[in-house]
Amino acid sequence: MTFSLRTLRRATVLAMLLASAVPAAARDFRIAVGDGAGGTQEALGLAFVKALEEKSGGTHTAKLFLNGQLGDEQDTVTAAATGTLDFSILAINNITPFSPSVGTLTLPYVILSLEDAEKITQGEIGQQMVDRTVEDAGVRIIGWAYSGFRVLTNSKKPVTTVADLQDLVIRVPKNEIMIETYKSWGVNPTPMAWSETFAALQQKVVDGQDNPYMTVHAMKFDEVQKYVTNIRYIFSIEPLIVSEQLFQSLSAEEQAAVLAAGQEATLASGQFLRDQEAQIKADLQAKGMEISDPADGEAEFIALATTAVWPKFYDSIGGKDVLNGVLTALDRPTVE
Ligand code: MLT
């Protein structure tokens, strides 16, 4: 049987019309969230759900599962990669083990402000990291939450110097860069999953940990920690990831809606931190937390960490040039 070109064109147009007339099946996606209510992860998630509903014309929605209900943060990366989880919001340090290229964002003292974080994640370098993470880890970053500097908390005493840290047992994520940073300060930290951290602090298996004020508040760490030190070694960035398998199964329109919703949620996240952080910090003080600044403007912490840690990770982040690209984009001196 033969068809004329005109018949074929007509058939194609008809097929396209039929396809666009069939509404996409409504979806109710699941979003894993590592932290509790009230933090930047939840704020990003809620903004994303609202934007997704709007941009899909009310067809798609999603539900947040807070407090690690769908698994520990690192486990959610594997679950999303294998297609058993749709979305997850988690700290960047918990993606680094699966995609070392994003380690540049957890190198100590590289990102020095919210503006630095926004500039890098929302620019060309951020897009390169998104692409690498798809390749390395099978998940796609579609939005970024900004949570502020990871401050040090502990239950024993005020800490202002590197010497004060020496007799404390500090929990860190299972992240080599963070482990090496504490080692550069003379401490052998305890790597531990995020989902186990509150109980470990409560039962005094560990004395302290670091996370942003927003996270300390959302996780109610003030109930088990007394002292805070305003170190600024990592500005916490917390991506929203989607399973790449899921993303590729969506139509072009659905993908566009997901990406646009992620972008809108990212912008809302920066504003959320600007609006909330000072109040959250004051609230933690009102609840009895004592806040100290490091001595000498943090000079000793900075010198030890940057000298010892940066060179160890040039290879894993994709070369020294990757770090220099970030430093150049931030108008800072590069490394030799
Ligand atoms: C961690 O310490 O493992 C994470 O930063 C926790 C978080 O996602 O807030």
Which atom in ligand 1 lies closest to the alpha carbon of residue 93? Answer: 5
Residue in 148, 150, 149 with CA at minimum distance from that of residue 194: 150
CB of 218 closer than 6 A to ligand 1? no
Task: Specify the residue for token string 């970030």.
Answer: 326
CATH 3.40.50.460: does it fit domain 151-234+282-317? no
233-252 confidence digits (pLDDT tens): 999 999 999 999 999 999 99
Pocket test of ligand 1: the residue of 93, 98, 237 to mutate, having most ligand atoms within 8 Å of its CB, is: 93
Report yes or no: 150 and 231 within 8 Å, Cβ to Cβ: yes
CB of 94 closer than 6 A to ligand 1? yes
State pTM to two decimals.
0.90
Average pLDDT for 307-314: 97
pLDDT of res. 101: 87
What Rg do the C-alpha atoms of the chain give, in angstroms?
22
d(CA 32, CA 252): 24
Domain ranges of the chain: 27-147+236-277, 151-234+282-317
Task: Specify the residue for token string 């949570």.
Answer: 147
Q: How confident is the model at residue 66 (pLDDT cuts 50, 70, 90)?
A: very high
* DSSP output for 263-321: HHHHHHHHHHHHHHHHHHHHHHHHTT-EEEPPGGGGHHHHHHHHHHHGGGGHHHHT-HH
CB of 194 closer than 6 A to ligand 1? yes
- Burial per residue of 104-118, b for 16 or more beta-carbon CB atoms within 10 angstroms, e otherwise: bbbbbbbbeebebbb
CB of 96 closer than 6 A to ligand 1? no
pLDDT of res. 20: 45
Across the chain, mean pLDDT equals 93
pLDDT of res. 17: 40
Report yes or no: 118 and 146 within 8 Å, Cβ to Cβ: yes
Which atom in ligand 1 lies closest to the alpha carbon of residue 173? Answer: 3
Same-fold call for 27-147+236-277 versus 151-234+282-317: yes
CB of 90 closer than 6 A to ligand 1? yes
pLDDT of res. 18: 40
* Angle (CA) 99 103 106, round 5°: 140
271-296 confidence digits (pLDDT tens): 999 999 999 999 999 999 999 999 99
pLDDT of res. 21: 42
Amino acid in the structure at residue 161 = T
Which atom in ligand 1 lies closest to the alpha carbon of residue 215? Answer: 9
1-55 confidence digits (pLDDT tens): 333 434 433 444 444 444 444 457 899 999 999 999 999 999 999 999 999 999 9
Ligand 1 atom 8: the closest Cα is on which residue? 91
d(CA 233, CA 183): 14
Residue 161 to residues 178, 229, 301, Cα–Cα distance (Å):
18, 10, 8
89-131 confidence digits (pLDDT tens): 999 999 999 999 899 999 999 999 999 999 999 999 999 999 9
DSSP code of 113? S
Average pLDDT for 53-74: 97
What's the chain's length in residues? 336
Which atom in ligand 1 lies closest to the alpha carbon of residue 172? Answer: 2
d(CA 182, CA 174): 12
Structure tokens at 319: 């070369």
CATH superfamily of 27-147+236-277: Bacterial extracellular solute-binding protein, family 7 (3.40.190.170)
CB of 148 closer than 6 A to ligand 1? no
pLDDT of res. 207: 98
d(CA 185, CA 84): 39
Task: Specify the residue for token string 């097929």.
Answer: 15
167-185 confidence digits (pLDDT tens): 999 999 999 999 999 999 9
